Amino acid sequence: MYRVTLPDGKTIEGMRVNEDSFTLQLRNAQGNIVSVNKLTAKNIEALPDKSFMPSYKDKLSDAQLNDLVAYLSSLGGAQ
């Protein structure tokens, strides 16, 4: 996740999709791609602890977590 502050003070947050020397493309919470000119942005900061995914920390009991892991393990799949 990144937060970009534009010259007018508006901020954009999103997941980095692409980046080159001059632009940064972010996918916002609505799924739209926003392209930002890195040279004119006031600030670009990485948000390493932020995500669009909701946190499930402390929402499952130990038994539920064990059941979930057992179920996912039973699915098999590519190794």
The Cα 45–Cα 27 span in angstroms is 15
Q: pLDDT value at position 51?
A: 81
pTM of the complete model: 0.65
Q: pLDDT value at position 63?
A: 93
Q: pLDDT value at position 21?
A: 95
- For 27-78, what is each residue's pLDDT tens digit? 998 999 999 999 999 999 999 888 887 777 788 898 998 998 899 889 887 5
Q: pLDDT value at position 64?
A: 92
The Cα 17–Cα 35 span in angstroms is 10
Domains defined for the chain, CATH in brackets: 1-47 (2.30.30.100)
